[in-house]
Amino acid sequence: MHRMLLGAVLLLLPAAAPGQFNPYAPPVQVDNDPRTRRALRERAVAYAGPSSREFVETQGDAAVAALFACSQPAAGKLVEFHNSGGLAKLPKPGDLLRVIAQPGNGDDVLLYAIQHANELSDVDCFDAYLLNPLEYAYALRPLGEGAAEARARRLSAHAATIPWRVTLDGRAIALGGGILAIVLFLWWRRRRQMA
């Protein structure tokens, strides 16, 4: 009887029990309580060292998440990268920090970004890297190839909206110019007849 009752209770429990890992679930949200966020920043500074204070304070929650996603030596390299100005040279540093913080990225994504900072300063290379950083970090795909695809996407999206407007504007200008020429010709002709 007790076993049947226990079985019934287990069947009624929700499928997502604590301790189960769902790789498709969104990342855990940081508590919005200011005390909790401040405590996390202090823990991040303690984890990465005193030189990380400015990095943590300027980059905020994204820096905290990225530091905790890395090993301590890699966290130190991230702080050095920021303090040297390398992180600021990238198009969207906050986006890189959020990608580093994603589960399974951490050290590998960070170290590749540091080693290829010059290439990643290009917007298309950077965008391609953020889409699937581990493919580039593990040398499964050349960054130039991804950058070319990102550039083609960006230009095709830009071209999809602009040429229609340019063509319409060009036609409108030509039509307006033609009408103006006819009106001026008729005005000139009428004025000549009256004189």
Structure tokens that stand for 171 in this block: 């036609």
- Amino acid sitting at position 172: A
Angstrom distances, CA of residue 176 to CA of 108, 170, 186:
59, 10, 15
Structure tokens that stand for 147 in this block: 């950058």
Domain boundaries, the chain: 34-141
Rounded distance between C-alpha atoms, residue 49 and residue 46, angstroms: 5
Give the pLDDT of the chain (195 residues) as one tens digit per residue: 545 544 544 444 444 443 333 343 334 455 688 899 999 999 999 999 999 999 999 999 999 999 999 999 999 999 999 999 999 999 999 999 999 999 999 999 999 999 999 999 999 999 999 999 999 999 999 998 988 998 888 888 776 666 555 455 667 777 778 888 898 888 888 888 887
Torsional class of 85: left (φ above 0), alpha (ψ -120 to 50), beta (otherwise): left
Rounded distance between C-alpha atoms, residue 3 and residue 1, angstroms: 5
